[in-house]
Amino acid sequence: MSVLTPARGTQAIFRINPVAKLAAALLLAGVLILTIDWVSAVVALACEFVLFFWAGLSLKAFAVRTLPVWIAAPTAGVTTLLYGQAAGAVYWSFGLVNVTEGSLELAIATTLRILAIGLPSVVLFVTVDPTDLADGLGQVVKLPARFVLGGLAGLRLVGLFLEDWRSLELARRARGIADRGVLRRLLSQAFALLVLSIRRGSKLATAMEARGFGAPVRRTWARPSSFRGREVALVGIGLAVALLSVSVSVATGSWNFVLT
Domain ranges of the chain: 12-129+226-251, 141-210
The pLDDT value recorded for residue 3 is 36
Q: Judge whether residue 25 has pLDDT over 50.
A: yes
pLDDT higher than 70, residue 5: no
CB–CB of 52/123 below 8 Å? Answer: yes
- Of residues 179 and 136, more confidence is placed in 136
Q: What is the pLDDT of residue 244?
A: 92
Specify the higher pLDDT residue, 57 or 194. Answer: 194
| pLDDT the model gives residue 43 | 92
| % of residues, the chain, pLDDT over 70 | 88
* Span 117-133, average pLDDT: 85
Quote the CA–CA distance of 210 and 218 in Å, as a whole number.
17
- Per-residue pLDDT averaged across 149-165, rounded? 80
DSSP string for residues in the chain: ---SSPPTTSSGGGGS-HHHHHHHHHHHHHHHTTB--HHHHHHHHHHHHHHHTTTT--HHHHHHHTHHHHHHHHHHHHHHHHHS---SSEEEEETTEEEEHHHHHHHHHHHHHHHHHHHHHHHHHHT--HHHHHHHHHHTS---HHHHHHHHHHHHHHTHHHHHHHHHHHHHHHTT-SSS-HHHHHHHHHHHHHHHHHHHHHHHHHHHHHTTTT-SSPPP-SS-----HHHHHHHHHHHHHHHHHHHHHHHTT---BTT-
